Every structure is written in structure tokens, then in C-alpha cells.
Structure 1
Amino acid sequence: MGAPAQRGMRFYLTTHKRHWLRLTDVPLFLKAEHFDRAVKWDVAQGPYAIDSGGFMELKSKGTWTRSPRQYVDDLRRIWEHVGPYDWAAQQDWMCEDAIINGGTFQGQHFVGTHLSVAEHQRRTVANFLELRSLAPDLRIAPVIQGDNIPAYERCVELYDKAGVDLRKEPVVGLGSVCRLQSTRQGAAIVTAMAAHGLRLHGFGFKTLGLERVGHLLTSADSAAWSSHARYRPPLPGHTHKNCANCIDYALNWHQRVLAAIPTHRQPLLTDRSAA
């Protein structure tokens, strides 16, 4: 798969602004769908990773509408036009209660998949196997899913039974912990999965979660800077209403978060040659 070598934790700044790739060498995290309508492509100046967009896909549609073949084609196009990415997340199936059962949570409507956690895990593993079969040369990262520690353990076993040794993967996404990562339960899940020797990526981590378990992660991403900025005055000299879409604010926030993580060590530069 040709993985980038690194040391410490790489902290990606999540954004929907794909043109930021040419404006900074800070690690960025973008959804594959943000490149769908690209006419002008911006070559990345620094490391970046790709999110499959599974949360919004399942939240609003209750299933994946982009086929594995389409996703692989999208990833190849991004690689060719933007430059080699660190890795891209597979098309996993989250196991949050809202995603599975549907309903309205914190003002957001979820259609619900109405499937079991076990079925979400089965589909997650099956998707990774299909993507790996379609594109063995691409850096596609497997994701483990569950709703408690025993469930995550079962997901690891499913990969093992399918012939995938997660310990050998350069990065393994830890799904469905975004809303738990600052809690004791979330910390316990991260700790239990790290004990397997997995190089974990934490999706949607915030400062408190990173302070608790950042030392156990290979990488993490966060878009918390945007909501943080939305409820605060803009930076001095900025004329917009707030800095919720402002690269200056995002980069300043990124530096503050890194400084707040006692265990953070700057990773080595990524090998950006093609796999």
C-alpha cells in the first residue's frame, strides 16, 4: 500500500475548502465529495487525507449511493490531480444509535439504516475487501466499527477471519467514537483498540479527547475550529461576520491545539512519492 512513515501523532485540520491545499502545508482532511465538481485542481503543498463522507451519506440516505467502483475512480482522480494523499478512509458503516435507528438528534434528522450493529460491521469489512480488490495499489485505510468494547473486538476478529491483519495496516480508522472521545467510555475504547497494536486514526477528535488519548493515536482530525469560530468575534482586521470559514482562524486554532497536547511530537515529513 506504500504508507507514509511518521513518528508521533499527525493532526489533520478538517475543512471543506479544497483550495486550502495550495495555501498551507498543514495536514488537511477533506471529504472525497468535495472534489466532485472540481474544474480547477489545486496541487497539495502538504500532507492530506481523504474521508469517504460516510456519516452524511448514511445520515441522509440510510445507505451508500456511491459504489465502491465509483469511489475508487474518485480516489484515483484526486491522486492524479492533487498529488499523493496519506490515505483515504474506506466506505464504512457507522454504528451510532442515530445512524442505525434514525430520528432527530440535536436538531439533525437521521433517516436510519434500521440494520444491526453486526450487519454494519459485516458490511464495513466487506467494503474494505472489495476496495482492496479493486485498487490494491491505493492507500485505502480500513475502519473498525462498534458501539462498545466487545463489539469493536468482534470487528477486529471479522477482519482477522477475512485475512486482514490490522496490525500490519499503516493506519486503521476508529469509527463511531466522535461523540464519545472526550468521555471515559470513549477513552476506554481507544485504549482497548490500541492494545491490539493498531495504528489508530481518531475521526473528529476535539481538544479534550486528544488530551486524554492523543498519545495512543497515530493521527486524528478535527473540524471543531469552525464551530469554535462561529460563536466568537472575527479575528482583528477581518471583515466577515465570523471566522467559521477562515483559514487564518483555522491555522491559529490548529497551532493552539497542538500546543495543548502534552504528548504531541511533530511527525516526520511524509513520503509523498506514489505508492
Structure 2
Amino acid sequence: MRFYLTTHKRHWIALTDVPLFLKYEHFGVGTARSLPRAIGRYAIDSGGFTILQRFGRWTTTPQQYVDDLRRIRDEVGPFDWAAPQDWMCEPAIIHGGTYGGQHFTGTGLSVAEHQRRTVANYLHLRELAPDLPIVPVLQGWELPDYEHCVSLYHRAGIDLTRELLVGLGSVCRRQSTNDGAAIVTTLATHGIRLHGFGFKTLGLKKVGHLMGSADSAAWSYHARRRPPMPGHTTHKNCANCLPYALNWRTKVLAELPASIPPVRLGGY
């Protein structure tokens, strides 16, 4: 499993060769005169959860998205892959309201419509940018939803078992539960190479061996609840600190089960 360290600090890609995962918006393509050059691998999240939470719809057109991805590729360096502009299926995203102190606008659409739009967007992006490694994403809420999403791709002529990687959406908040584990296990059994968005240590220990890759920002939450590292006297905690993030990543990887063979990804 390739483990990406999630960060909102775009300059980190010029400071470490550890695989990084960044939201598209954090590159600041619309305002930045120049972008840092990556010295390691990285992948790009479209930031759909935040956008749909705020606006209940996508505010960036597919053409603008691929234009910006091309600039990132050309200036920062080739990325492993980028997520499409998919539609998350968490109840908060669909119905709206306040959850955990956060306001959600709500799309007012159904899970099935979110899935249809997710697949349609992937097909559109692939048509607009066959030169970019944009991966399909499976969306749903219950296991039958994800199996239905697989069938939507199949009807569109996309064999997910032949894809380099397939994102697994709307699972991060249930990753360590039995339901979350069942979704990952079933889809992996189908021969789909999954990427787990936003996985934490419990989820990684439970199903990480079944995925091709995963990303996590759990290090930042971990740091906010602890004093800063020795010598880090300029900040009250290390929630935005690269050395802390790298130490956390090393410890997490060391604690993952070593007896379970990794998923082989060919040239990936």
C-alpha cells in the first residue's frame, strides 16, 4: 500500500520525497504566480467534500479543473493521479444541516443521482483530458450502493478491475466499522485496486492490506492534542509541522500488520 501524507501546505512537496496528498484548491492555481517543484510523488484530491458542503454543487467547471491540473503537472511535476469532481454520498452532504458544529448546505439530491453525476463527470474529464491520470471514484453509502456504482461504470464501458486505481468515497468516517470493512473487503474481492480517502490508523490496521493506497491527515488532529515536539518553541502545537507529520507517518507504518502481503499494482 502506498501511503500518502495529507497536507494543505503546498510547499511541502519541495521539502520531502514522502508521498503527499493535497487538495486541488491548496495549490492556489488561480492566484499563484509560480508553484513549487515536487521532489517526490504526490496525488491530488478535487476537494469535493468541502465544495459540496459549502455550496451544495460544484463551482469549478470540468474544463477549468483540467486546465488547472495541467498547470500543476507542468510546473509542480507529474502527479500520480487526481480525483475527479465526484459527488459524496454522506447524509450531511445530501440533506444538509449542522453536524459536529459544521454547516452543510445540502444538495437535495438522491444517492443514485450523486452516483450518476460522479460517473458522468469521470467520463467527461477523461474526454477533456486523456493526457491526465484522473481516476474513477466509487460513491455510495451502503454496500449495495457501491455495487450499483460499479455497475454504472460497467454500463459506461469502464472495467474498474483494469484501472490503475479506483477511489473509494464516503467511507472515511466509517472506515474502522464493520460496515466500512465490509465495503472495502467486498470491492477488493472484485479485483478493484482501491484508494482509501482520509483513512485513520484504526481503518488502516483493519483493511489497509486490501487497498492499493490510502491518504491520511490524522497526524494533524493527533498533533493538536499534544504539546509541540522538543525544540519547537515557536508554536503551541505541531498541527502544521512537517517533522511531526513525518514522525507520525513512520510510526503508523511501523504499526501496520507486517504479515499481510501488500496489494500488487503492476507498474504503479
Task: Verify: 1:100 aligned to 2:94, yes or no.
Answer: yes
Task: Verify: 1:256 aligned to 2:248, yes or no.
Answer: no
Q: Could you list the per-position Cα deviations for residues 16-40 of structure 1 after superposition, in whole angstroms to 9, with x for gaps in the alignment?
A: 0000001100000001111123223
- Calculate the TM-score normalised by the size of structure 2: 0.95
Of 22, 47, 58, the residue aligned with 1:30 is: 22
The AA in structure 2 aligned to 1:254 is: R
Kindly report which structure 2 residues correspond to 1:40-55, keeping only aligned pairs within 5 A, or say none.
40-55=34-49
Task: Verify: 1:247 aligned to 2:238, yes or no.
Answer: no
Q: Could you list the per-position Cα deviations for residues 58-89 of structure 1 after superposition, in whole angstroms to 9, with x for gaps in the alignment?
A: 00000000010010001100000000000000
- Calculate the TM-score normalised by the size of structure 1: 0.93
**Partners of 1:265 and 1:108 in 2: CA distance:** 39
**Partners of 1:245 and 1:10 in 2: CA distance:** 22
Q: Could you list the per-position Cα deviations for residues 88-140 of structure 1 after superposition, in whole angstroms to 9, with x for gaps in the alignment?
A: 00110000000000011111110000100000000000000000000111100
The AA in structure 2 aligned to 1:247 is: L
Percent identity for Structure 1 against Structure 2: 69
Q: State the superposition RMSD in angstroms.
A: 1.7
Q: Which has the higher contact order (CA 8 A, sep 6+)?
A: 1
Q: CA deviation at 1:41?
A: 1.7
Given that 1:10 and 1:267 are in contact with CA atoms closer than 8 Å, whether structure 2 keeps it comes out as no
Task: Verify: 1:18 aligned to 2:13, yes or no.
Answer: no
**Partners of 2:211 and 2:23 in 1: CA distance:** 21
Q: Determine the structure 2 residue equivalent to 1:193.
A: 187
Q: Could you list the per-position Cα deviations for residues 166-205 of structure 1 after superposition, in whole angstroms to 9, with x for gaps in the alignment?
A: 1111000000001000111100000011111001000000
The AA in structure 1 aligned to 2:98 is: T
1:127 counterpart SS class: helix
**Partners of 1:271 and 1:201 in 2: CA distance:** 16
**Partners of 1:82 and 1:110 in 2: CA distance:** 33
Of 105, 108, 112, the residue aligned with 2:106 is: 112
1:104 counterpart SS class: strand
Number of residue pairs aligned between Structure 1 and Structure 2: 263
2:174 counterpart SS class: coil
Q: Determine the structure 2 residue equivalent to 1:176.
A: 170
Given that 1:206 and 1:224 are in contact with CA atoms closer than 8 Å, whether structure 2 keeps it comes out as yes
The AA in structure 2 aligned to 1:53 is: G
In structure 2, relative to structure 1, the CA distance for the partners of 1:217 and 1:68 (3 Å cut) is: same
Unmatched tracts of structure 2, length 5 or more: none
**Partners of 2:50 and 2:58 in 1: CA distance:** 10
Q: Could you list the per-position Cα deviations for residues 137-176 of structure 1 after superposition, in whole angstroms to 9, with x for gaps in the alignment?
A: 1100100001111110000000000111111110000000
